[in-house]
Amino acid sequence: MRSLFIILGIVAAALSLILSVTPLSKIAFLPAAVALIFGFIAFYMSKEKKMPKKSVQLIFLLTAISLILTTYKSIFQTVEVGNLDELELKEEASMKDSKEILEDLDLDEIDLDLDTTELDFLENDNPREPEELVDQ
């Protein structure tokens, strides 16, 4: 049972350490808390059975490093907002281009040739298709 908590603690601590160095560092607090819980459980089991505590110390070391990195990144990392004027100008230009493209379209060129059988089929909502449409 002790080895299960040690394995789960090491996995959670490693996940926390990996997440703490990525841009998703704020999520690293959750696996760090889980690793601490598993570490404390394994520590008390090791203490009762008088077994070595080196692997439990590894869990605490990895968790402490990930918590330090995550806290550092959350305090000192600033979010920089770029120049929004350029972004707005690009958006307006793309809107103008889109309007010009739509105005240049000639909808008269699109020819909608519907046979009368197709129109009857659409009006009646008949689940069976006309034979002429199946052949095409």
pLDDT at 127: 53
pLDDT at 14: 94
Is the Cβ–Cβ distance between 38 and 22 less than 8 Å? no
pLDDT in tens, the chain (136 residues): 889 999 999 999 999 999 999 888 889 999 999 999 999 999 999 888 888 888 899 999 999 999 999 999 988 887 666 777 788 888 888 888 888 887 777 665 555 554 455 555 555 555 555 555 555 5
pLDDT at 129: 54
Global pTM value: 0.57
pLDDT at 77: 81
- Which residues neighbour 49 within 8 Å (Cβ) at sequence distance 6 or greater? 2
pLDDT at 106: 64
Give pairs for 36-43: CB < 8 Å, separation 24+.
36/60, 36/63, 38/5, 38/6, 38/8, 38/9, 38/12, 39/5, 39/9, 39/13, 39/63, 41/5, 42/2, 42/5, 42/6, 42/9
pLDDT at 133: 52
pLDDT at 59: 93
